[in-house]
A and B are shown apart, each in its own frame.
Chain A
């Protein structure tokens, strides 16, 4: 059964393997995320970070290994079922309902959360408008509720990406490079904002982030991946000092 004991990790992955044909994208990965943590997943391009998220959210089926959500093995569950179990995600590349307005985008996961997709009559318009407005306010999109997602500025699309994920009320939020494509100076404030939001809502989060200054200053714990494997895991200070991490990152923008 599910428990909220601090000693049962919210998310525990062990022996995770994913092969694409002959390519081993994820090679025997283990890691655990403690309840309430703001856990960073880092690694160079192609390390397998997004693939781990795809496995955690049911977008891909693992070749081998287990994924435990509060102790329950969920490997192979389809995405919509994992969403019901509290797993939410944002995408590295904006993944929205482009024709729909900000309001309609945020409404979709709220409808799903209440299982109202099976209501054949009654109106969608006006449904959950209060909650939608509050979420839009939280991420700073209150002025754009009636704007189609595709007409938003890029940065606002990133915010909508976050709002749509939050609207499902996840307990575990997987953030795939929320700062992707943003100016360096905007990254730290955005990730701090997300971390504070995650804490205020009692969520657990895993964030993929390339900017190591941001990671070192905000993450509680860091998992470093390299070529499909876990290279190191620990507190920011340990990771900063880890010789294997330093070696793997040499010349790839890692500066401690």
Chain B
């Protein structure tokens, strides 16, 4: 997996990374808040995208598993929560069910894809996500197909953009803190060992497949939470949430920001959202240009933007 295998000693800025990511996120949310209601309406999906990218990086960066099917987990969380909310369940129950369903979907995906050749892994995650996309698209009676699933809303007190933004800040901050602790935990150390040398990890006494599946389940729960947050923000779920671009954009920002640091995908997601918001007024080719930049970063600066920002002295 050449995306993640470039070995660089990143310890030096590991501690500074999360602090910088938090500072940048706060600055982004704060700046948007100054712009009023409209700004907050941009801040919410930005934070959701940050969480989604960070959840993917648990697989890509910490686990060395380059999944191209992360959208399936995001959409599962969002759609299951949306369906329950539409059928009269309160937001908290719907959210928990969405998160659980996404974790389950992730476990199933992992059971099928994990332990294979990198290329087979990528193709299988991609294929499974496309399958989920097709089910959502075709199963009109339940999912609303390409009309989307609408007809539900968060409770009264969360309907203001400010209140919903506050909830999103809390939920995303909590989830990121949990992910950060996880990457530093003994489980995180075991997952990195599996990433670096699965063969030796097994002879060190680790059940490689179980650890990879567990990483998927946790990552899926986090992606599911991101989907749930988007569903109640939009008061609807739409089939694009399960689409190819949803998966690849997240992968793109992981590589852009740097997969080997916790801050990388967060910084990458913020940059991506800024460019996606501002650039289209300048050029309509912004996504292709960003794609080229990401490829160059991936090739020549595997430590990503996080590395460039945090370790200028070590650049050679």
Instruction: Name A's B-contacting residues (CB within 8 A).
Output: 57, 59, 78-80, 83-84, 88-89, 91, 95-100, 104, 107-109, 111-113, 116-125, 127, 148, 150, 164, 167-168
Interface string of B142-182 (1 = CB under 8 A from A): 00000000000000000000000000000000000000011
Contact A168 B181 (CB under 8 A): no
Q: Given A104-B189, A124-B189, A95–B184 Cβ distance below 8 Å?
A: no
* 8 cross-chain pairs, A with B, having the tightest CB-CB distances, nearest first: A112-B205, A117-B190, A124-B189, A83-B205, A109-B204, A116-B186, A79-B202, A97-B196
Q: Which residues of B contact A164 (CB under 8 A)?
A: 200, 204
The residue that B7 contacts in the complex, of A59, A83, A123, A150, with Cβ under 8 A, is: A150
Taken together as a complex, chains A and B put the C-alpha atoms of A59 and B188 apart, in Å, by 24
B193: Cβ under 8 A from any A Cβ:
yes
Select from chain A the residue with minimum beta-carbon distance to B6.
Answer: A99
B31: Cβ under 8 A from any A Cβ:
no
Select from chain B the residue with minimum beta-carbon distance to A146.
Answer: B11
Q: Which residues of A contact B211 (CB under 8 A)?
A: 117
B9: Cβ under 8 A from any A Cβ:
yes
Q: Which residues of B contact A127 (CB under 8 A)?
A: 186, 189
Contact B190 A111 (CB under 8 A): yes
Give me 13 other A-B pairs in contact (C-beta within 8 A), A108-B201, A111-B190, A119-B187 excluded.
A78-B202, A80-B205, A83-B203, A83-B204, A96-B197, A98-B7, A100-B196, A108-B193, A117-B187, A117-B211, A120-B182, A127-B186, A167-B204
Q: Which residues of A contact B200 (CB under 8 A)?
A: 91, 95-97, 164
Q: Which residues of A contact B9 (CB under 8 A)?
A: 99, 148
Taken together as a complex, chains A and B put the C-alpha atoms of A79 and B197 apart, in Å, by 14
Contact A168 B205 (CB under 8 A): yes
Contact B205 A120 (CB under 8 A): no
Contact A107 B189 (CB under 8 A): yes
Taken together as a complex, chains A and B put the C-alpha atoms of A98 and B6 apart, in Å, by 11
Q: Given A100-B193, A148-B9, A89–B186 Cβ distance below 8 Å?
A: no
Taken together as a complex, chains A and B put the C-alpha atoms of A121 and B196 apart, in Å, by 21
Taken together as a complex, chains A and B put the C-alpha atoms of A56 and B185 apart, in Å, by 32
Least Cβ distance of B2 to chain A in Å?
A: 15
Least Cβ distance of B295 to chain A in Å?
A: 23
Least Cβ distance of A67 to chain B in Å?
A: 16
B192: Cβ under 8 A from any A Cβ:
yes
**Chain B residues within 8 Å of chain A by Cβ, number:** 28
Taken together as a complex, chains A and B put the C-alpha atoms of A42 and B200 apart, in Å, by 24
Least Cβ distance of B159 to chain A in Å?
A: 35
Contact A108 B184 (CB under 8 A): no
Q: Which residues of A contact B96 (CB under 8 A)?
A: none
Q: Which residues of B contact A89 (CB under 8 A)?
A: 203
The residue that B185 contacts in the complex, of A91, A112, A121, with Cβ under 8 A, is: A121
Q: Which residues of B contact A117 (CB under 8 A)?
A: 186-187, 189-190, 206, 211
Q: Which residues of B contact A108 (CB under 8 A)?
A: 189-190, 193, 201, 204, 206
Least Cβ distance of B304 to chain A in Å?
A: 16
The residue that A111 contacts in the complex, of B181, B186, B218, with Cβ under 8 A, is: B186
Q: Which residues of A contact B185 (CB under 8 A)?
A: 119-124
B199: Cβ under 8 A from any A Cβ:
yes
Contact A80 B186 (CB under 8 A): no
Taken together as a complex, chains A and B put the C-alpha atoms of A111 and B218 apart, in Å, by 20
Q: Which residues of B contact A121 (CB under 8 A)?
A: 181-182, 185
Select from chain A the residue with minimum beta-carbon distance to B5.
Answer: A99
Taken together as a complex, chains A and B put the C-alpha atoms of A111 and B186 apart, in Å, by 7
Q: Which residues of B contact A104 (CB under 8 A)?
A: 189
Contact B181 A95 (CB under 8 A): no
23 contacts between A and B (CB under 8 A): A57-B203, A80-B206, A80-B207, A95-B197, A95-B199, A95-B200, A97-B200, A98-B7, A107-B189, A108-B201, A108-B206, A109-B204, A111-B186, A111-B190, A112-B205, A112-B206, A113-B205, A116-B186, A117-B189, A118-B187, A121-B185, A122-B185, A124-B184
